[in-house]
A and B are shown apart, each in its own frame.
Chain A
């Protein structure tokens, strides 16, 4: 049963880091201050690299723990998944051009921002298709908007952490409120009403605490909270089906021996890696001031 959590944990990590990563090119486009843009440029690459690895882990985790999931899901959602795959591939190309090739072309910046807005919306459609077969157009629009606004909230909350002077506080709060507005009709239709209340709560919390304490990390915490609540609620709504109402997780799970091998492999990997990582972190702490 421990193994069942593995793909979920990586999918959750992808949602958190992906939310930040998708928002950064959009915020970069609307940011006029050069110093703020430099901060986004500085932070985008490491976040993007880690995010992609979490996506790989989420997919391989699902494939390993629930080996029959992907052969069932991919033909069922083939067009959507292929579009997502193409979108991710195209976006990666533009990221390479903009951030690694350091091209200074405004068209590529616009294109990157546009794809970065569309992709979370498309990924949200994948999740919606899993929960609800043949979703209504209003559900599709609302789900897309929730994904976009929570992503913007996470991205602006993250930037506020690394550059407190920038005007991201209002973006976070506004995005959370708009996500709550988008969640309300969705909640009404899909029996997901608590989501609206939860996002609203997160937005209110962020608004209150940032106004009262001028905290630099509270908007990120509130955005993360909103995402977590949505994530947990979706899981709760979906359980025990992986593809409602035909396929359950139990039907597609691997044998216990496979799960044991995966968990033990992971434990061994972590045990072997920890000393090395601790060593490297010590080096980092020692050299950070003089890092090139």
Chain B
């Protein structure tokens, strides 16, 4: 058990870092295309300069993402051999097509960067579209693997081996539509928030305060708001999926111990002794959100045998995710409203501070969402098929190596940050 816990900690740490690099690899191409489009439409060279700079950032993060992805694939196979023995035969096409989309993205990104013309051109902009499509495709395929772990289908388990695999069914399982759409939209949101927050922070510090800086902040806030709305919609669809397919996860996330009609929506509170205490309660709120009527019955944790119940601690992650998203939505909406009304408070320090905070909240929301789906699936690693306790490679070396990979990731993170800072210094030196 100690070994499993060490392997879980190790893997969680690596994936936690990798997600940050990977989501930026998905989100930045969209912002680059948008900036280049604005440069073309508005005939404004400053947008073109932004597009160029963001492409350079993308290259650095792309490289870091490739490295962390390689380390993770080694870790998975080393630390989780019994899991991979089941997962890889069933989801092989998803793993491969994720990598292949990544290859396509890298080829396009290299040519796109080398072919960068001095002046904006429609032809170059069109050539950038496949980068965005390939990165989204890559994210789609890898998320289908996670969706498969939540809703496994399309195979037969015979003597502990996966046989009779139907690749279409494993790829397009019941969780695929909601999980992939929610994840990819959240990556776009987190990236837009990071860029918006970064530029808001610069403005808050008295840097980047010109006319273009203000326009850039508006555009990034608008993108963040659009994706915040879309993520809310896909989140609602995800919750409805959970009601039908993973009721125990939903019950734990919402802190619902007993199956009941008029199920309340609980916000905040402290989990103790398997129950949620001190939460702000909205009567019948969960019944309405889950099934559309106040008297609808929502399944609680009591419907799942205790040895198969996920921890109610995921309620914190659920609240963290929804809270972060709500804050982003409100902050960007308020900023854009003030801008529309030409208010003198539009670029007030409090507003800028709130937008800067969104940079962290967007990332945190993705991390919370990932923790919610992973810990909410426990005690299974593949729901109903393989328990986490049986999924780690036997032996104690996971414990011994426990410190190495997290340290490596911390250094990777620090060096990436340092390289990006050096990149900014070079831009500033050019101006």
B386 in the interface, Cβ–Cβ < 8 Å? no
Query: Is B401 interfacial (CB 8 A cutoff)?
Result: yes
Task: Pick from B81, B102, B107: contact of A277, CB below 8 A.
Answer: B107
B94 (CB) vs chain A CBs: closest residue: A64
- The interface size of chain B toward A, counting residues with CB under 8 Å, comes to 75
Q: Does B273 contact A (CB under 8 A)?
A: no
Q: Choose from A50, A71, A89, A262 the contact partner of B106 (Cβ within 8 Å).
A: A50
Check: B330 CB closer than 8 A to any chain A CB.
no
Contact of B115 among A70, A86, A273, A287 (CB under 8 A): A287
Bound together, the chains give a CA A81 to CA B76 distance in angstroms of: 12
Known: A269-B104, A287-B116. A59 touches B93 (CB 8 A): no
Is residue A48 contacting chain B, with contact meaning CB distance below 8 A? Answer: yes
Within B62-94, the residues touching A (CB, 8 Å) are 62-64, 66-67, 69-71, 73-75, 77-78, 81-82, 84-85, 88-89, 92-93
B118 contacts chain A at the CB level, 8 A cutoff = yes
> Pick the contact of B130 from A48, A92, A273 — CB < 8 Å?
A273
CB 8 Å contact bits of A85-111 with B (1 = contact, 0 = none): 110111011011100111000000000
User: Which of A130-138, A159-167, A238-246, A278-286 lies at the interface with chain B?
Assistant: A278-286
User: Which of B191-199, B290-298, B350-358, B414-422 forms part of the interface with chain A?
Assistant: B414-422
Q: A67-B88, A282-B123 are in contact. Are A92 and B412 (CB under 8 A)?
A: yes
Report B129 CB to chain A, min CB distance, Å: 7
Q: Is the CB of A60 within 8 A of B95?
A: yes
A261-292 interface mask toward B, CB cutoff 8 Å, 1 = contact, 0 = none? 11001100100010011011111101110111
Q: A75 contacts which chain B residues (CB < 8 A)?
A: 78, 81, 393, 395
Interface 9-mer from A176-184, A228-236, A250-258: A250-258
A255 to B91 alpha-carbon distance, docked (Å): 12
* Chain A residues in 8 Å Cβ range of B101: 269
52-81 of chain A: CB within 8 A of chain B: 52-57, 59-61, 63-65, 67-68, 70-75, 78, 81
Cβ-based interface call for B427 (8 A): no
What is the bound-complex CA distance between A261 and B203, given in angstroms? 50
**Nearest CB in chain A: distance from B351 CB, A:** 34
Q: Is the interface of B mostly helix, strand, loop or mixed?
A: helix
- Is B126's beta carbon under 8 Å from chain A? yes
Contacts of B423 in A (CB 8 A): 100
Question: Is the pair B415, A97 in contact by a Cβ cutoff of 8 Å?
Answer: yes
Question: In the complex the two chains form, is B88's CB within 8 Å of A279's CB?
Answer: no
- Tell whether, in the assembled complex, residue B96 and residue A262 are in contact, meaning their CB atoms are under 8 Å apart: yes
A67 with B62: CB separation less than 8 A: no
Q: B98 at interface (Cβ–Cβ under 8 A)?
A: yes
Most interface-central of B71, B93, B98 (chain A CB within 10 A): B93
Number of interface residues of A (CB under 8 A): 68
Contact of A287 among B92, B117, B419 (CB under 8 A): B117
A56 touches B123 (CB 8 A): no
Asked whether, in the complex, the Cβ of B99 is within 8 Å of the Cβ of A265, the reply is no
Task: Decide if A34 is an interface residue (CB 8 Å cutoff).
Answer: no
A288 to B82, CA, bound (A): 51
In the assembled complex, the CB of A152 is this many whole angstroms from the nearest CB of chain B, namely 24
Q: How far is the CB of B350 from chain A (nearest CB, A)?
A: 35
Determine the residue in chain A with the shortest Cβ distance to B87. Answer: A67
Contact call A78/B70, Cβ cutoff below 8 A: no
* Interface membership of B385, Cβ < 8 A: no
Nearest Cβ distance between residue B46 and chain A, in whole angstroms?
A: 15
Known A52-B67, A75-B78, A75-B393; judge A265-B117 contact (CB<8 A). no
In the bound complex, CA of A283 to CA of B52 (Å): 16
Q: Is B166 an interface residue (CB 8 A)?
A: yes
Q: Please give me the residue from chain B that is nearest to A273 by CB atom.
A: B104
The yes or no answer to A189 lying at the interface (CB within 8 A) is no
Query: Would you call B123 and A283 a contact (CB within 8 A)?
Result: yes
A–B complex contacts, Cβ < 8 Å, 17 sampled: A49-B62, A49-B110, A55-B70, A56-B69, A59-B99, A65-B96, A67-B88, A71-B84, A72-B81, A82-B74, A93-B415, A100-B419, A258-B92, A280-B124, A290-B118, A291-B117, A292-B52
Those 8 A-B pairs whose CB atoms lie nearest each other, nearest first = A64-B96, A60-B99, A67-B88, A284-B115, A280-B127, A261-B167, A64-B92, A74-B77
Sample of 14 more A-B contacts, CB < 8 Å, known A269-B100, A269-B104: A65-B96, A67-B84, A67-B88, A67-B92, A70-B84, A71-B84, A93-B415, A97-B418, A100-B63, A102-B426, A261-B167, A276-B129, A284-B111, A287-B124
